[in-house]
Amino acid sequence: MSEALENPPTVIWSHSNSIADFYELPTDGRDMREALDWLLRHYSSVKLWMGLESEDGVELLLMAVPTRKEEVVQRLTVYDDGEILMGPTAAY
């Protein structure tokens, strides 16, 4: 198994396809900048893909290209309320 990346808790993977990896974008300014800074170091391009508004608030999704499932997604550390929930996994 590959070594885990030191991604911040603000980097939250959503899903991937053959072209791009999609991440949830925090709506807090500081968290947003932290996530964008980290993702831009690992992808050629990161763009706002979709924004959804519900009674619970706004959800923003980023599209990061090209897809880097093996190099990035599978090596992400997964957090739960700021605590590490699990390290990298090949089960994506």
pLDDT at residue 56 in the model: 79
| pLDDT exceeds cutoff 70 at 79 | yes
| Residue boundaries of the structural domains of the chain | 12-77
User: What would the pLDDT profile of 34-77 be if each residue is shown by its tens digit?
Assistant: 999 999 999 999 999 888 787 877 889 999 999 999 999 999 99
**Would you state the pLDDT for residue 59?**
85
- From the number of C-beta atoms within 10 Å of its C-beta (0-12, 13-18, 19+), residue 28 rates as exposed
Task: For residue range 2-11, list pLDDT tens digits in order.
Answer: 788 999 999 9
Predicted pLDDT at 8: 95
pLDDT at 91: 43
3-state secondary structure of 35: helix
On whether the pTM is more than 0.85, the answer is: no
